[in-house]
């Protein structure tokens, strides 16, 4: 276990054989009273439901928006079997990828995003709730209930949404209270496979004619899709869900000028956490593991995991408050948006010995055995702690919607304080027993001024333009690096293992009494600092006993504890009871800061070819925040990295038309991205074995060494037919290519073998998570009967193969050096043989939904099924020395949902 675990870690053509679509059912308009209407209107299938969105910061018809976006109402999410599972949204949105790595939501749009989910990282696709920016998307899925709609906007939104909207945005819009003096609401219950039990409710409570409150809440319990395939059956697998959330909203609108909205929300997430499955041991068959099984991922059940050591746990709470006050002065409106969010996240990763493969020996291996079986008494694992307090303030002026010049201008300010901890333990480790990064004081700040406008040159032609200037700064104070412990035996034999993290162990994280290591120089200083790293030792930990006598000087070389060595040989204690040599190392002082400013702009046009046809073109830019690296050797590791930047050209057409007497749409857009100052993670040595000089610890370093080009074509259509049938189609062709980027290959780390890594030129590779072809088709029907309406829908989503990492299964070059740094051996293995296959095969996923709604709309019964073919899809991979961890999609889920509205 080492420090890199912390970071995770041709031409443009498309044959269109049919009209292509959004896969979007109608988004419900605000202000509808309970009971809610079905997602597809049944009274007039000849009309096309209007989908209203706020992707350009003002409410508008999605079909009139000059860009590529999709919107889904809560009914759409239910009918498409997406429900309250945020990851499932990607099945309905081409180009969207969402993974959950250890509780952090990672969003990529058209291959652009960010996988750096530490305090040093920022999202590359910006999440929002009711238009308010969310900087730390942990627990974001707990917001996915009682929604007005979810908006997915593709392409950089630098002038409109600002911070970190490089790839685009996801905006979760909650249901607002409904005015009019009526009490209404609903209660909903669902049950399904994997012991799924869910309950949701909403109450709309009038406070006179002009004000109302709305309470909404839900709870969900669901068993894991993983299986404990090992012998330690008392361990529950990762992925068990236990969630509760609530939301209270207030709306006051005494007239058509003043609007006051406020919302308080709370969520708790328990269960067993979200670590992935390590397939390295199953895939490797080369020099790194001679005689290894060499299975491909497609031959394995990736959900059969052999769990060892500690029980994985998750304990996360979040709450927030946001407010919006707007006053219409006639020709302009003044609006204030503000929010505060608090995140308190803790996770103990479920430790494992990888996955089960055919013929694998999973018998219990005693510590002194040399081969075969599994050491279930290994408590090597990772502890996470993330606390975040953030606030966003925005003051905005904008024109009346009827003005010839539609403009908006404003000020934006964001602040975040974080306290974070990461502790990676290597139980029974020799010379290296863990990695700690604990930061009690992390600050981020961003301020911006912006303006955007659309001017009507004529009745048909409009010109668009916008600018935004941003200043950002970050700082961090704490500690980070490796714990080094070397304990010599009799005759200076190496080395006694140290046990750390067994049953009952609790890390200290920010409860440490001191984070200043600048004056610590002696073993006594180091021993005291290490002991302060945990609040409670595990029941079978040895570290406290090993360090006995060091601090008070009675045993300068510590206390030797007789016990078998993990490697198979029994080591003897020296006669004096102290270790023959005694080496301690502690994390380094970490202090980083950065300050950057950047300028975003957009320019474009809209032209109404007819009342039903829009032609548009726009050039826009976006940035993702820069930052700083961990503080080690400044000659090897740059102190800061610049913001990433992107400039995009999109040209498109949106069309509504009558087809066989029914209203339908066809939209198409071509796009080109120039992605520069791209951050790739490089490798640097942060710890060495003092006996041999060999590297024993590495850290990933952010460097602006990349440049990529992306282009593609996206087409969408929604068609209505007779007898209540409808067909939604959506297709995306996407070509991505890394043009520049040479980094150290983290797959080739050689611990204890010189510590050398090879360089790899990524030029010509595809960006991770970018499929060349994606195609969605949703067939739906609503049948009106004398006892109510029946509806059904089938969503089939095809996605061609894609790579999970930047390496694209390039060969791995392993280098071994001697103590002087000279190359001793140099071998090449293909990625699969070395244990690093990283290509996800193409697949088709199928979701279905069917329901009945009573004549008065008060009762709704639904049956749903997602991922019906039970495809195991890797949505992210984390690779490194001996590590190829896959983070998977949700397995097949099906169930029944009943909803009563009043």
CA-wise closest residue to 871 among 804, 767, 797, 806: 797
pLDDT above 70 covers a percentage of the chain that reads: 89
| Alpha carbon 539 to chain centroid, angstroms | 35
- For 451-472, what is the mean pLDDT? 96
The string of DSSP codes covering 813-825 is: EEEEE-TTS-EEE
- State the Cα–Cα distance between residues 588 and 682, nearest whole angstrom: 19
Q: In the numeric block, which tokens belong to residue 282?
A: 């199953």
Beta pairing partners, 98 = 107
| Rounded Cα gap, residues 226 and 222, in angstroms | 12
> From CA 101, how far away is CA 56, in angstroms rounded?
31
Task: Point out the least confidently predicted range of 272-281, 286-295, 714-723, 744-753.
Answer: 744-753
R_g of the chain, CA atoms, integer Å: 28
* Cβ partners under 8 Å of residue 226, min gap 6: 237, 238, 239, 277, 303, 304, 305
Predicted local confidence at residue 698, as pLDDT: 60
Q: Residue 188 — pLDDT band, cuts 50, 70, 90?
A: very high
- In three-state secondary structure terms, 703 is strand
Q: What is the pLDDT of residue 571?
A: 82
CA distance readout (Å), 503 to 228, 425, 530: 19, 13, 19
At residue 359, does pLDDT exceed 80? yes
Please count the other Cβ atoms lying within 10 Å of the Cβ belonging to residue 753: 15
Range scoring the smallest mean pLDDT among 38-42, 130-134, 387-391, 867-871: 38-42
Provide the pLDDT for residue 583: 92
Distances (CA, A) of 87 to 93, 100, 141, 245, 489: 11, 8, 8, 18, 51
Mean pLDDT along residues 846-862: 97
Distance CA 170, CA 151 (A): 6
User: Please, which pLDDT band fits residue 565 given cuts at 50, 70 and 90?
Assistant: low
Dist. CA 592–CA 457, nearest whole Å: 50
Confidence (pLDDT) at 637: 72
- Per-residue pLDDT tens for 221-264? 999 999 999 999 999 999 999 999 999 999 999 999 999 999 99
Q: CB under 8 Å to 677, separation ≥6 — which residues?
A: 642, 643, 644, 645, 704, 706, 707
> Which residue in the block uniquely carries the two structure tokens 């983070």?
887
In the sheet where 69-72 sits, what is the strand order? 69-72, 147-154, 168-174, 126-129, 132-133
CB 646 within 8 A of CB 155: no
Q: In whole angstroms, what is the distance from residue 86 CA to residue 105 CA? A: 9
**Total count of residues recorded for the chain:** 902
pLDDT bracket for residue 102 (50, 70, 90): confident
Whether the ω angle into residue 35 lies within 30 degrees of 0, i.e. cis, is yes
Q: Is 102 exposed, middle or buried (0-12, 13-18, 19+ CB in 10 A)?
A: buried
Q: What is the mean pLDDT of residues 480-491?
A: 90
Please report the DSSP string for 404-425 in residue order.
Answer: SEEEEEEEEEEEEEEEEEEEEE
Tell which wins on pLDDT, 369 or 814.
814
Lowest mean pLDDT among 10-24, 129-143, 299-313, 444-458: 10-24
Tokens of 701: 């370093």
CA-to-CA dists, residue 379 to 277, 437, 495, 502, angstroms? 16, 19, 19, 6
Residue with the two structure tokens 């990282």: 121
511 three-state secondary structure: helix
Taking CA atoms, 899 is separated from 25, 78, 690, 758, 864, in Å, by 19, 11, 66, 58, 14
Is the torsion defined by CA of 53, 54, 55, 61 positive or negative? positive
Question: What average pLDDT does this structure show over 511-528?
Answer: 94
Average pLDDT over residues 730-744: 95
So what's the pLDDT on residue 756?
Answer: 65
Average pLDDT over residues 607-616: 96
Q: Does residue 35 contact residue 901 with C-beta atoms inside 8 Å?
A: yes
Closest Cα partner for 61 from 810, 773, 665, 688? Answer: 665
Q: How far apart are CA 30 and CA 175, in angstroms?
A: 8
pLDDT (tens digit per residue) in 45-57: 344 566 777 777 7
For the cut 90, the answer to whether the pLDDT of residue 689 exceeds it is no
Three-state SS sequence of 837-850: CCEECCEEEEEEEE
Contact between 239 and 230 (Cβ < 8 Å): no
- Provide the 8-state DSSP code for 722: G
Q: Determine the pLDDT at residue 1.
A: 37
pLDDT band, very low/low/confident/very high, at 752 (cuts 50, 70, 90): very low
> 3-state DSSP call for residue 531?
helix
- What is the model's pLDDT at position 264? 98
SS3 content of the chain, % helix, strand, coil (to 5): 5, 50, 40
For residue 336, how many other CB atoms are within 10 A of its CB? 14
pLDDT given for residue 26 in this prediction: 33
Q: How many CB atoms lie within 10 A of CB 722?
A: 10
Minimum mean pLDDT range among 107-111, 245-249, 570-574, 770-774: 570-574
378-396, pLDDT tens digit by residue? 999 999 999 999 999 999 9
Contact between residue 124 and residue 369 where contact means Cβ atoms under 8 Å apart: no
Going by pLDDT thresholds of 50, 70 and 90, the confidence category of residue 11 is very low
Res 45: pLDDT: 39
Rounded to a whole number, what is the distance in angstroms from the first to the last CA of the chain? 56
List, for residues 313-337, the tens digit of each pLDDT value: 999 999 999 999 999 999 999 999 9
Kindly tell me if the per-residue pLDDT of 291 is higher than 50. Answer: yes
Do the Cβ atoms of 618 and 504 come closer than 8 Å? no
pLDDT at 417 over 50: yes
Q: Average pLDDT in the 423-440 region?
A: 87
Q: Please name the helix (run of DSSP H) or strand (run of DSSP E) that holds residue 8, with its range, or none.
A: none
Question: According to the model, what pLDDT value does residue 20 have?
Answer: 30
pLDDT of 369 higher than 70: no
Q: Give Cβ neighbours of residue 246 (< 8 Å, ≥ 6 apart).
A: 215, 216, 217, 265, 266, 267
Q: How far apart are CA 667 and CA 16, in angstroms?
A: 12
Residue whose structure tokens are 């894609």: 802
Identify the pLDDT of residue 48: 52
pLDDT digits (tens, 9 = 90+) for 653-663: 999 999 988 99
- pLDDT at residue 62, as a whole number: 86
Better-predicted residue by pLDDT, 19 or 686: 686
pLDDT tens for 690-731 read 555 555 556 678 889 999 999 999 999 999 999 999 999 999
């Amino acid at each position: 276990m080492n420090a890199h675990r912390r970071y995770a870690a041709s031409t443009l053509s498309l044959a269109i054989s049919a009209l292509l679509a959004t896969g979007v059912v109608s988004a419900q308009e605000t202000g509808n009273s309970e009971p809610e209407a079905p997602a597809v209107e049944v009274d007039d299938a000849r009309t096309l439901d209007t989908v209203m969105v706020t992707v350009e910061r003002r409410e508008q018809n999605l079909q009139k928006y000059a860009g590529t976006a999709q919107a889904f109402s809560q009914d759409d999410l239910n009918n498409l079997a997406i429900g309250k599972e945020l990851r499932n949204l990607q099945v309905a949105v081409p180009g969207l990828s969402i993974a959950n790595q250890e509780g952090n939501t990672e969003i990529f749009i058209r291959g652009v995003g960010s996988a750096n989910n530490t305090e040093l990282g920022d999202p590359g696709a910006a999440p929002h709730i009711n238009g308010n920016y969310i900087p730390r998307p942990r627990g974001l899925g707990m917001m996915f209930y009682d929604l007005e709609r979810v908006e997915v906007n593709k392409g950089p939104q630098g002038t409109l949404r600002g911070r970190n909207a490089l790839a685009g945005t996801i905006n979760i819009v909650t249901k607002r209270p409904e005015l009019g003096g009526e009490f209404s609401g609903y209660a909903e219950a669902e049950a399904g496979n994997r012991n799924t039990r869910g309950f949701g409710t909403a109450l709309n409570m009038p406070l006179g004619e002009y004000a109302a409150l709305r309470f909404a809440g839900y709870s969900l319990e669901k068993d894991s899709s993983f299986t404990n395939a090992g012998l330690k059956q008392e361990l529950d697998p990762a992925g068990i869900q236990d969630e509760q959330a609530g939301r209270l909203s207030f709306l006051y609108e005494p007239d058509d000028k003043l609007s006051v909205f406020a919302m308080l929300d709370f969520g708790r997430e328990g269960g067993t956490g979200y670590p992935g499955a390590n397939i390295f041991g199953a895939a490797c068959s080369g020099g790194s593991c001679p005689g290894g099984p060499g299975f491909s991922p497609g031959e394995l059940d990736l959900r059969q995991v052999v769990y060892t050591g500690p029980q994985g746990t998750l304990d996360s709470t979040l709450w927030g408050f946001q407010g919006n006050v707007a006053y219409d002065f006639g020709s302009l409106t003044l609006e204030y948006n503000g929010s505060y969010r608090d995140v308190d996240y803790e996770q103990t990763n479920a430790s494992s010995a990888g996955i089960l493969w055919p013929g694998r020996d999973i018998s219990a291996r005693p510590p002194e055995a040399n081969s075969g079986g599994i050491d279930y008494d290994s408590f090597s694992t990772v502890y996470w702690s993330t606390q975040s307090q953030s606030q966003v303030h925005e003051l905005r002026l904008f024109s009346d919607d009827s003005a010839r010049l539609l403009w908006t201008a404003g000020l934006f300010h964001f602040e975040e304080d974080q306290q974070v901890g990461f502790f990676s333990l290597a139980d029974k480790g020799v010379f290296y027993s863990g990695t700690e990064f604990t930061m009690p004081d992390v600050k981020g700040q961003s301020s911006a001024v912006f303006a955007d406008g659309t001017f009507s040159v004529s009745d048909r032609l409009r010109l668009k333009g916008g600018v935004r200037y941003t200043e950002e700064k970050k700082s961090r104070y704490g500690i980070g690096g490796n714990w080094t412990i070397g304990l010599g035996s009799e005759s200076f034999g190496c080395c006694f293992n140290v046990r750390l993290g067994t049953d009952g162990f609790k890390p200290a994280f920010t409860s440490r009494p001191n984070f200043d290591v600048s004056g610590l120089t002696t073993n006594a200083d180091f021993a005291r600092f290490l002991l302060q790293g945990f609040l409670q030792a595990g029941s079978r930990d040895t570290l406290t006993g090993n360090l006995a006598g060091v601090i008070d000087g009675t045993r300068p070389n510590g206390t030797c504890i007789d016990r078998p060595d993990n490697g198979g040989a029994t080591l003897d204690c020296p006669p004096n009871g102290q270790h023959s040599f005694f080496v301690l190392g502690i994390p380094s002082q970490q202090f980083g800061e950065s300050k950057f400013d950047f300028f975003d702009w957009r320019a474009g046009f809209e032209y109404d070819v007819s009342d039903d046809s829009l032609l548009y073109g726009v050039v826009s830019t976006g940035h993702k925040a820069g930052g700083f690296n961990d503080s080690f050797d400044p000659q090897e590791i740059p102190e800061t990295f610049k913001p990433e930047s992107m400039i995009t050209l999109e040209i498109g057409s949106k069309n509504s038309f009558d087809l066989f007497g029914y209203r339908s749409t066809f939209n198409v857009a071509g796009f080109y991205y120039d992605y520069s100052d791209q951050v790739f993670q490089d490798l640097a040595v942060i710890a060495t074995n003092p006996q041999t000089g060999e590297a024993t610890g590495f850290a990933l370093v952010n460097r602006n060494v990349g440049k990529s080009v992306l282009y593609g074509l996206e087409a969408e259509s929604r068609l209505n037919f007779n007898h209540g049938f409808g067909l939604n189609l959506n297709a995306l062709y996407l070509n991505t290519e890394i043009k520049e980027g040479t980094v150290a290959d983290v797959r080739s780390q050689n611990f204890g073998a010189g510590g050398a890594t090879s360089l790899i030129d990524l030029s010509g590779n595809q960006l991770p998570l970018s499929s060349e072809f994606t195609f969605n088709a949703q067939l739906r029907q609503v049948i009106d009967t004398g006892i109510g309406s029946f509806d059904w829908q089938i969503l089939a989503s095809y996605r061609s193969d894609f790579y999970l990492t930047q390496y694209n299964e390039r060969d791995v070059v392993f280098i071994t050096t001697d103590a002087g740094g000279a190359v001793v051996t140099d071998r090449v293995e293909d990625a699969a043989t070395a244990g690093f296959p990283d290509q996800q095969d193409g697949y088709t996923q199928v979701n279905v939904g069917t329901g009945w709604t009573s004549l008065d709309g008060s009762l709704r019964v639904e049956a749903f099924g997602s991922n019906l073919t039970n495809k195991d899809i890797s949505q992210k991979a984390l690779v490194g020395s001996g590590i190829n961890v896959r983070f998977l999609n949700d397995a097949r889920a099906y169930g029944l949902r009943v909803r009563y509205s009043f």
